Amino acid sequence: MNQDAVQAAAPPARTWHRPDAWRTGVVLTALVLALPVLVVFAHLFLPSTDVWQHLRETVLRDYVVNSLLLMLGVGAGVLLIGIPTAWLVSLCEFPGRRIFQWALLLPLAMPAYIIAYTYTGMLDFPGPVQTQLREWFGWGYGDYWFPEIRSLGGAMAMLSLVLYPYVYLLARAAFLEQSVCVLEVSRTLGNGPWAGFTRVALPLARPAIITGLSLALMETLADYGTVAYFGIPTFTTGIFRTWFGMADPAAAAQLSALLMSFVFVLIVLERWSRRRARFHHTSSRYTQLPRYQLRGWRRVAAVAVCALPVLLGFVLPALQLANWAAGTTETWMSAEFLRLVWNSLGLAAIAALLALALALFMAYGQRLRPSWSNAVAVRVAGMGYAVPGTVIAVGVMLPFAWLDNTVDAWMRESFGISTGLILSGTLVALIFAYCVRFLAVSLQTVEAALGKIKPSMDDAARSLGMPPNRVLRVVHMPIMRGSLLTALLLVFVDVLKELPATLILRPFNFNTLAVRTFELASDERLADAASAALAIVIAGIIPVILLSRTISRSRPGHDTAA
């Protein structure tokens, strides 16, 4: 047998396929970003500690009951404020409607813990409201009843005032996207404004409303500053107290896992409600919406309904903060305040840039190599936004501390050198927690922007010999410039406002505007906290403007009058 015959008879050589770098990178990145959540969730299956048994026997019931009551109260509050205001500015005509349609989003710029401090300063016994009442009526201590702001009801009110915009903006978007034909048919059947709202518009907008409600309730469960300042025992305060007061990370992680189960129930309910309702767009006819002309007392009532949330949720607190800050003008240019601003802006900028880079990598990787593994990885990486900052902080600290201790022990044994804390207790851990927490914000924005670019543009660029990374840099990023800036600003401001993760993970003697505001308010130095709080509020107005512009353009057919 000759050599050619031998080669022909031999089995074909097995070729080695290089793993796809994009697909592998997306999956690995998602696993790293999901690590804090997975670590916390794993503690559900670990044996109970003595501290955990103590918590179960003493305060766990209070944590569960107060958290549930807070969710019920805030849920009712955001629905009662968000839905009527969204309907009025979308489908009714009354004085000031154009102003209210964006002004109703302003409370979103006011963090819950800041509005809680502000109203406490205004409504407490030594505050200006009760002081004025005593002067007017000659009352003394114990002569009158006044609602207690530092209570569960007060926390419900504070959170409702700043979280209703989640329901408002999604409900308004749903009302604007509804077909004009359905509304006109409703009118021909004799339905007035109220009947058209309850029988037609509200059922059609139900999935969007439930999505907004779910977001508001997730933020309620994630809140730490408000409930800690009001002295209300909830999951977030319990996690913080167990970690620092009892020095038991395992018990804190088990509390975090239990809180996370509440969040996942909300996510499942929101997905289930969205799945059951797929009947929004009943016609392709989209023109300027026919608005109900309100007259008489209805016009006055509409103005009052829209003005009250803006007044209570933004105008009054902002004016009070400005008044306090004006009395301490020198702190604005002090070295300490400038250092706080530098720390806050630097952290927010680094975290926003990293989150945007990760979002671009993952979204473009999914577009370039669409597969079930990439789709699952992208969704897993984005689930951190639904998890409270305290839970993320616990999930970051546990593996980082284990890694630090392992490396330190090995270095001591091998070289007699102590490495100390390399990751935990440093800015690396804090920035990683920010990326885990807020990646979803930039990821959703980038995915939406990429979805508007036709695949034919990718094919044309690749036919010219461009590699995938150059296609992203030269073709996609210039087209998505506006969306990328939006994603950057949204994450920037979210990081600027983040409190619980920063409190737990910040390095020693490192403060931000949010932390300084919380510390001063906890010491009852509300006027001194005003400057830092006002700086956070001013920065928070940026995404509000972006959201207002986006929601106004949401109606098909370019309803510019909306």
Tokens of 394: 């616990």
Can you tell me the distance from the alpha carbon of 487 to that of 502, in angstroms, rounded to the nearest whole number? 21
What domain range includes position 286?
32-552
Q: What's the pLDDT at 207?
A: 77
Q: What is residue 157's predicted lDDT score, i.e. its pLDDT?
A: 94
Residue 8's pLDDT band (cuts 50, 70, 90): very low
Task: Please report whether residue 9 resides in a domain.
Answer: no
pLDDT higher than 60, residue 158: yes
Beta bridge partners of 92: 292
Strand partners, 93: 293
pLDDT reported for residue 93: 84
The mean per-residue pLDDT over the stretch 509-526 comes to 86
Work out the number of other CB atoms within 10 angstroms of the CB of residue 291.
17
**Side-chain half-sphere CA neighbours of 513 within 13 A:** 30
293 Cβ contact partners less than 8 Å away, ≥ 6 residues apart:
92, 93
Compare 259 and 191 and report the one with higher pLDDT: 259
Backbone angles phi, psi at 293, to 5 degrees: -85, 110
- Whether the per-residue pLDDT at 1 is higher than 50: the answer is no
pLDDT at residue number 192: 58
- Please determine, for residue 233, whether its predicted confidence score (pLDDT) is greater than 50: yes
Residue 92, H or E segment: strand 92-93
Q: How many CB atoms lie within 10 A of CB 281?
A: 13
Statement: residue 378 has pLDDT above 70: yes
Percent of the chain past pLDDT 90, that is, above it, reads 16
Q: Has residue 198 got a pLDDT over 90?
A: no
Residue 105 has pLDDT above 50, yes or no: yes
Predicted pLDDT at 486? 75
pLDDT given at position 10: 46
Contact 183, 91 (CB under 8 A): yes
Average confidence (pLDDT) over 64-93: 91
Cα gap 16→27, rounded to integer Å: 21
State the pLDDT at residue 527: 82
pLDDT score recorded for residue 115: 92
Q: Give the number of other CB atoms < 10 A from CB of residue 178.
A: 22
Residue at 12 is within a domain: no
The residue-averaged pLDDT of 24-46 equals 83
Which is more confidently placed, 164 or 504? 164
In this prediction, residues 10-23 reach a mean pLDDT of 53
Q: Are 513 and 537 spatial neighbours (Cβ–Cβ below 8 Å)?
A: no
The percentage of residues in the chain with a pLDDT greater than 70, rounded to a whole number, is 84
CA distances from 119 to 338, 401, 508 (A): 26, 39, 31
Residue for token digits 């807020």?
438
Residue 93, classed as helix, strand or coil, is strand
In a domain, residue 18? The reply is no
Note whether 89 and 100 are within 8 A (CB): yes
Asked if residue 17 is part of any domain, the answer here is: no
Least confident range of 142-151, 193-202, 312-321, 505-514? 193-202
pLDDT (average), residues 313-327: 88
pTM of the prediction? 0.80
Assess if residue 156 is contained within a domain: yes
| Cβ–Cβ < 8 Å for 60, 424 | no
Q: How confident is the model at residue 331 (pLDDT cuts 50, 70, 90)?
A: low
270-282 pLDDT tens trace: 667 655 554 444 4
What's the mean pLDDT in 81-91?
89
Lowest mean pLDDT: which of 427-441, 445-459, 523-537, 544-558?
A: 544-558
In this prediction, residue 197 carries a pLDDT of 64
**Range 315-329 average pLDDT:** 84
Predicted confidence band of residue 550 (pLDDT cuts 50, 70, 90): low
CATH of the domain at 259: 1.10.3720.10
Q: Is the pLDDT of residue 4 over 70?
A: no
pLDDT at residue 28 is higher than 80: yes
Section 437-446 average pLDDT: 83
> What's the rounded Cα separation, in Å, for the pair 8 and 21?
34
Q: Does the pLDDT of residue 268 top 80, yes or no?
A: no
How far apart, in whole angstroms, are the C-alpha atoms of residue 258 and residue 41? Answer: 8
The mean pLDDT value of the chain amounts to: 80
pLDDT for the residue 559? 43
Residue 336 forms part of a structural domain? yes
* Amino acid identity at 118: T
Q: Which residue has the higher pLDDT, 464 or 434?
A: 434
CB 237 within 8 A of CB 256: no
Q: Max alpha carbon distance in the chain (Å)?
A: 119
Residue 54: left if φ>0, alpha if ψ -120 to 50, beta else—which one?
alpha
pLDDT at position 69: 94
Q: Name the residue among 277, 255, 142 with its Cα closest to residue 205.
A: 277
pLDDT for 523 equals: 83
pLDDT bracket for residue 191 (50, 70, 90): low
pLDDT in tens, 118-154: 999 888 888 888 888 888 888 887 778 888 889 999 9
288 token code pair: 């300027």
Please tell me the predicted confidence (pLDDT) of residue 21.
Answer: 74
Which of the 8 DSSP states describes residue 312?
I
Q: Report whether 167 contacts 78 (CB < 8 A).
A: yes
Q: Give the residue with greater pLDDT, 450 vs 160.
A: 160
Among 57-61, 306-310, 472-476, 512-516, the range of highest mean pLDDT: 306-310
> Taking 90 as the threshold, does the pLDDT of residue 444 lie above it?
no
Q: Give the range among 180-194, 421-435, 469-483 with minimum mean pLDDT.
A: 180-194
Our count of domains for the chain comes to: 1
Least confident of 38-47, 279-288, 544-553: 279-288
